Structure 1
Amino acid sequence: MQIKLMIAILTGLFAISNSVIAEECNSRSEDSVFIMDCLAARYKAADKELNAIYDEAMKSLSSDGRQKLEVAQKAWLKYRDASMAFITEVNRKTGSTGNFIIEDYRSALVEKRAAELKYILSGPDAGPATW
């Protein structure tokens, strides 16, 4: 029960900060340095959320659950790295627009993984998956 409460609190805090960051990134669309800094902040917030969820889960899961989460997370990290290599290659020659796409995708990957873990760790109260 403790893990569900902690994840609910973390979810609320990070959802607010991520939506504020996403809105802020769109506010000055003509300033590419601002956009890149903003996208980097969005990624940092998403990564912080994912790490907090993972750390909390590792504290509260059974030994078998921790081992399975660790295996799943290592597989996801390989997927993340391969996906980032692919999107970087596809956008290699597209200039700053490609850089925006790459950075946005990097954040989206991490945000989606955080949503997946929250869903998995919510148990029977999870409701339908949204990501």
Structure 2
Amino acid sequence: MLSRSTIASAALLACFACQAQAEDYSQTYTQCMDKASSTLAMGACIQAETRLQDERLNRVYKQLMAKLDKDQKTNLRDVQRTWIKYRDGNCAFHGRLSSGSIYRIEGAMCEMDMSRDRAAELERVLSPGQ
């Protein structure tokens, strides 16, 4: 049987994990989605957050490129171009599974999430251990 302190520790870790994941999105996005009452409104929230995540991704990409040597820069540029093609194709697939508006939302969320995840990945490369 698990002790109360073990259960409390697990709950605390779960809260930190949820909070860390939520912090990857802007507070504006979270508030916007809380108020969104239609797929059109949700789409506007997602579109605005995607712009922010793209800006974040571009910023960290440039910072990382500034720290790399010539060969590493070439490798990162090539990988990033491949990743962009994959993201765009993958999210287009999700957005076109059906003609329903929910699939357009899924496609848009896919692009937002993948951009957020890629920015976080490059941030970890830029500042390992943080």
The alignment's TM-score, normalised by the length of structure 1, stands at 0.72
RMSD: 2.0
Q: Give how far 1:25 is off.
A: 2.9
Distance 1:17 1:119 in 2: 13
Task: State the one-letter code of the partner of 2:125.
Answer: I
Distance 2:50 2:28 in 1: 10
Does residue 1:80 correspond to 2:76, yes or no?
A: no
Q: Give how far 1:70 is off.
A: 0.6
Could you tell me which of 106, 112, 120 is aligned with 1:107? 112
Distance 2:39 2:91 in 1: 21
Correspondence for 1:64 = 71
Does residue 1:48 correspond to 2:55, yes or no?
A: yes
Correspondence for 2:99 = 93
Correspondence for 2:121 = 116
1:57-90 Cα offsets, whole Å, 9 max, x none, are: 1122111211111111011012112202211221
Q: 1:34 to 1:89 in 2, by over 3 A?
A: closer
Distance 2:48 2:69 in 1: 33
The alignment's TM-score, normalised by the length of structure 2, stands at 0.73
Distance 1:32 1:86 in 2: 19
Alpha-carbon contact 1:24-1:38 (below 8 Å) kept: no
Alpha-carbon contact 2:56-2:119 (below 8 Å) kept: yes
Which entry has the higher C-alpha Rg, 1 or 2?
Answer: 2
Q: Give how far 1:16 is off.
A: 5.7
Task: State the one-letter code of the partner of 1:67.
Answer: T
Identity rate of aligned residues, in percent? Answer: 27
Alpha-carbon contact 1:29-1:35 (below 8 Å) kept: yes
Alpha-carbon contact 2:32-2:45 (below 8 Å) kept: yes
Task: State the one-letter code of the partner of 1:98.
Answer: Y
Q: Give how far 1:18 is off.
A: 2.6
Alpha-carbon contact 2:93-2:107 (below 8 Å) kept: no
